[in-house]
């Protein structure tokens, strides 16, 4: 069972990355001129969304999909946009996967990079002392 769970996790991670990339236009979110989000001078704001990992529940009914967003200041807005379209994304995943039941998706921000930076700061402070 553990092997199947791991295999499904990898499959969903890969498919979720493709689905988000191909079906959600993140750049459109940030081109709204009147928004509170500042655009660069060239107007080229398009956050990069990466699916880092997927963790499937033991009963294979749910999957938490961890995403990383660059630049990180757009992370909450991107997650909000993904969650607004979760039903649409789930339908696409259901059609692509040939397993039953297809786990229900939940997207979560991956905080690994931030935690790693904090640990590095602590290590640097310890070296200086």
Q: Domains, the chain, ranges and CATH?
A: 2-128 (3.30.300.20)
Query: Which pLDDT score is estimated for 41?
Result: 43
Does residue 43 register a pLDDT over 70? no
pTM score = 0.78
Burial class (CB in 10 A: 0-12, 13-18, 19+), 74: buried
Average pLDDT for the chain: 85
Phi, psi values for residue 64, rounded to 5°: -95, 125
pLDDT per position as a tens digit, 69-113: 988 888 999 999 999 999 999 999 999 999 888 999 999 999 888
Residue 45's SS3 state is coil
């Amino acid at each position: 069972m553990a092997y199947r769970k791991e295999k499904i996790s990898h499959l969903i991670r890969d498919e979720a990355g493709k689905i988000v990339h191909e079906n959600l236009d993140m750049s459109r979110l940030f081109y709204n001129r009147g928004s509170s989000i500042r655009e660069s001078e060239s107007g080229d704001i398009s956050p990069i969304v990466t699916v880092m990992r997927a963790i499937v529940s033991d009963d294979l009914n749910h999957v938490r999909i961890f995403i990383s967003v660059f630049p990180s200041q757009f992370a909450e807005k991107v997650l909000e946009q993904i969650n607004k379209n979760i039903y649409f994304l789930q339908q696409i995943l259901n059609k692509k996967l040939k397993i039953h039941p297809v786990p229900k998706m939940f997207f979560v921000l991956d905080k690994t990079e931030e935690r790693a930076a904090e640990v590095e700061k602590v290590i640097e402070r310890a070296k200086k002392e």
